[in-house]
Chains A and B, each alone.
Chain A
Amino acid sequence: MSAFAGAIQILGGLVLAPLLPGTIQALKARLQGRRGPSPLQPYRELRRLWGKTLVDPQPTTVVYRLAPCLVVAAMILALFLVPIGGLSPDWPLGNDAIVLVGLLALARFALAAAGWDTGSGFALMGSSRDLTLSVFAEALLVLALILAAAPAGSTDLVAMSAAASGSAIWGEPAHWCAGAAFALVLLVETGRQPIDNPDTHLELTMIHEGPLLEYAGRDLALLEWSAAARHWIFLLVAAELYLPHWGGFGVQLACLLTGVAVLCAALAFTETAQAKMRILRAPALLTGGSLLALVGLISRLVG
């Protein structure tokens, strides 16, 4: 069973990740009354980009050229950490939640450094916003993870997933708070509205698109895949830790699929219903999420 879970972890992550943003876009188009692109559109984009020439802005160093590879390497390692259906084979990489946070920070560092290397104002604008939000998002993420780690007594994602399975956990207010807090993290890290708008290439509003602006060809394909992998990782963590799941591996897998589908639909719905908020107001929202997580923690401690 765990070998099967491992195969989904890696192959599923590598192959299926672009399906998630594609599905969200397609659903969103439907909700907005458009026909929209097919869910497979990201694959077509990747294939097109893979065949294109690279672009080398002058003067740049090896930092700029290495960054996409490093970002994708960090994302692939992160794929190994997230369990599927509560199972993960005994990779030598462990399953620690904080290591996952660290790998995401590495990706952020590499991309921002590449932005400085080009000196492009758009890249720097995007990454400075991304880094600003990450200060609040990381605090919130860690608080949400504490709430999920509390029943398990461990930050091992497999143990956390096991502790969150079943229905007893839903009697605790802490779990509801944790889910709400993680939903906010999900919005920031996947770069969806109301925090960021993935459709825009208007420099004044973009966050995650900014650092990608100079890249072309295979570099851009790698970075586009890593953005999709970010969706995959966070949706999986959300479904494994904060959405209902129970039973053996088969049931868990079904729960996971349903959970990810529901989350995609929820993201598409949020994007349709909610306008993008001012960037400077987003930290207040995230701090509110942190307070909610603290309330959850208190309820757990005194309850």
Chain B
Amino acid sequence: MGLTLLVTGALAPVVPRGLRAAIALQAAGIALLGTGGALVLFGAPCFGAGFRSGLDPGLGVDGLTGFFLATLALVAVPAAIYARGYLAGLPRSRALVGLFGLFLLALVGVVMARDPSSFLACWELITLVPAAAILVRRSDADVRHAVFVYLAVTHLGGAGVWICVLALAHYGAMSEPAVLAAQGAGAQALIIVAAIVGFGTKAGLMPLHSWLPRAHPVAPSHVSALMSGVMIKVALYGLIRVLFEWAAPAPLWAGLVVLGLGLLSALAGVLYALSQQDLKRLLAFSSIENVGIVALGLGASILFASQGEGTWAAIAFAAALLHILNHAVFKALLFLVAGAFERAVGSLELDRIGGLLPRMPWTGGAFLVGSMAIAGVPPLNGFASEWLTLQALIHVALDPSPGLGLAGALATAGLAATAALAVFCFVKVVGLVLLGTPRRAAVEAAVEAPAGIWAAPVFLAGCCIALGAAPGLLVPSLIKLAPQPQSLTAEPGLSIPGTGSLPSPWLLVGLLALTGVLWRLRGSRRAAPTPAWACGRRIEPSLSWSSAGFTKPLRLVLESVLRPRREIEAVRHRGRLQSIRYRGEVPHLFDTLLYGPVQRGALASALVARRLQSGSVRAYAAYLLALLLALLVLARIGAIG
């Protein structure tokens, strides 16, 4: 039913003037699917086909699929509503609406697919459709390059997904996970490594993330919201299926690898987010950070399972899922608001915005809530899932085996540092974008976006608060999805043995009540208006603090890691200083140190390969002969049968 609506919605833009109806159909379809998914998640029986390894296509919904469908709907419905306002008046909106519908279909397809062929088909579509959506919107050289990198990296890495899924289908492990155990550790290791590379690339796990900060910022905002909010989560869905179902039980080393990659992504993601100059690019890097946090939870779950600690394995698993949902909500919110800001003020260069909160109170307020949520401060939803992940990691650190204990302690310290860096990063964003004085004329004149645009972010901000207040209503259902399901009573807060409990509703109530009381105590006595103190000078917008200035202490402390570059050029004329030009940046070391050599190597080997292609028929005949001879020799010595 929902699927039909969604299909119609995706096809409807073909009809001229059917755009609004098409968007409504898409929203209704995905909402229906999401409701169905949520019902299955909360205990309704699974429906549709079960997993099969053959070629006959099948669709089905079980608990995990239901969770991802619900997450998708929670983001896609607001995004669709937002798109109605956002696309009004933009060129080529018809194509964008169609592609949005197709993108939704592909995402639904991946999580509902029950056989290898439809899984792989939908998997390719979720890579290709956003690329098309980006190019429909803009196609200048920069964007074309970004799309090229995106397609190249995701396809090279995506080969891992093909290897993994086809190998699983070959062994018949998708329908019958037990057969893989009979194949020995080699086959399982191959599948797990292929899955980590393939799904990890698409999820943006470092060091395979190179495409993400390029592709996400250039997409239209509602597509960015889906890409950051859901698409990379769908890749995590694949990883979860492989690690916890098809190739389960995953060995200890897989847990350590996932934990390590997660730690790297979380720390490096937020460090690079801190030094970005563009809001959307910053948000893209912060997605990498959050995928890292999810991976930390998944890795911890594998480690617990390999130690036979079923309870904590399930809790860590639920922590990862909860963070997937929470990140989908607040990252979609932030991307949608970024789009609204872009409409209102043009460029999203962080140092040149400022003062949007009083000018755009609804979008600005939603942005403030979203930033606090992603910074992981109580009582919002980001804190709830980070708290749960941190608790899981602390209990890894309490594990009696020395190696695991040390790994857990390092991961816990890393996650704590990540959380502090996220506060640093998003307080900077809030300050530069929402607070202070406007830094250019366009910002000064900004007005609130129409209600069709701010409604979606405000709804998502409400979700951030609700999920932060009552994560405990959801976590018991998530714990049941773990390979070794556990039961937990559903109550709004989280009281888990081995922790001091997170009474999130009371935190929210307490903070609100106390702040209210103190606000009354503070009194409404008239305050003396005065300019802020700057040693007697007025604070001018051109002299106001920049992103680079605010993060300077950290950049100096981590100089050996980040290796920032700066150039100062003083132009003098007859001994008098005319102007000073300053340029500073934090180069992306993964690009220069890792991808650069790979790229140069690939180009060099392409040159060598080109020499082989002389264009002469005789040469090609010689190649054929050589190949034939080689095959014959191989057959003779028995290397190929």
Contact = CB atoms under 8 A, between A and B. Distances in A.
Interface of A: 53-59, 61, 63, 66, 68-70, 72-74, 76-77, 80-81, 92-99, 101-103, 105-106, 108-109, 112-113, 115-122, 124, 127-129, 131-132, 134-143, 145-146, 149-150, 153-159, 213-214, 217-219, 222, 279-280, 283, 290, 293-294, 297-298, 300-302
Interface stretch (B55-63, B236-244, B531-539): B531-539
B326 interface: no
A127 B378 CA distance: 19
Nearest to A92: B506
A94 B502 contact: yes
B436 interface: yes
A102 B557 contact: no
Contact of B431 (A113, A219, A302): A113
Contacts, number: 263
The 9 nearest A-B residue pairs measured at CB: A116-B431, A96-B500, A56-B527, A73-B514, A156-B500, A54-B527, A94-B501, A69-B518, A142-B416
Contact of B416 (A69, A101, A129): A101
Given A68-B522, A222-B522, A120 B532 contact: yes
Interface string B510-533: 110011001101110111111111
A146 B532 contact: no
30 contacts: A53-B526, A56-B528, A68-B522, A69-B518, A70-B515, A74-B511, A96-B499, A98-B387, A98-B499, A99-B500, A102-B378, A102-B387, A105-B420, A105-B423, A109-B427, A115-B431, A117-B431, A117-B436, A118-B436, A124-B550, A132-B553, A132-B554, A135-B424, A138-B417, A142-B413, A150-B398, A154-B499, A157-B500, A217-B525, A290-B413
A139 B511 contact: no
Contact of A213 (B357, B519, B533, B544): B533
B409 interface: yes
Nearest to A214: B532
A224 to B, nearest CB: 14
A102 B398 CA distance: 21
Nearest to B425: A131
B435 A117 contact: yes
B48 interface: no
A70 B511 CA distance: 7
B230 interface: no
Nearest to B427: A112
B432 A116 contact: yes
Nearest to B412: A142
A137 B554 CA distance: 13
A223 B552 CA distance: 26
A128 B402 contact: no
Contacts of A214: 532-533
Contact of B398 (A121, A146, A302): A146
A139 B412 CA distance: 8
Nearest to A123: B532
B511 A135 contact: no
B117 interface: no
B515 A301 contact: no
Interface string B386-404: 0100110010011011100
Nearest to B551: A128
Nearest to A284: B557
Given A72-B518, A154-B498, A106 B420 contact: no
A123 B550 CA distance: 11
A151 to B, nearest CB: 10
A153 B432 contact: no
Given A59-B355, A119-B545, A143 B431 contact: no
A303 B493 CA distance: 37
A290 B544 CA distance: 36
A122 B535 CA distance: 10
Contacts of B310: none
Given A73-B515, A136-B417, A146-B412, A297 B397 contact: yes
Q: Is the interface of A mostly helix, strand, loop or mixed?
A: helix
Main secondary structure of the interface of B (DSSP, over half): helix
Contacts of B511: 70, 73-74, 77, 106
A283 B426 CA distance: 21
Interface in B476-522: 493, 495, 497-503, 506-507, 510-511, 514-515, 518-519, 521-522
A266 to B, nearest CB: 25
B420 A135 contact: yes
Contacts of A102: 376-378, 383, 387
A56 B421 CA distance: 30
B536 to A, nearest CB: 13
Contacts of B412: 142-143, 146
A129 B428 CA distance: 13
B533 A119 contact: no
Contacts of A294: 406, 409-410
A56 B435 contact: no
B427 A113 contact: yes
Contacts of A156: 499-501
B462 interface: no
Contacts of B553: 128-129, 132, 279-280
Contact of A56 (B358, B497, B503, B530): B530
Residue in B368, B529, B532, B544 whose Cβ sees the most chain A Cβ within 10 Å: B532
B510 A57 contact: no
Given A69-B519, A97-B500, A153-B398, A134 B423 contact: yes
B430 interface: yes
B378 A96 contact: no
A213 B507 CA distance: 29
Given A69-B515, A128-B550, A141 B527 contact: no
Nearest to B365: A62
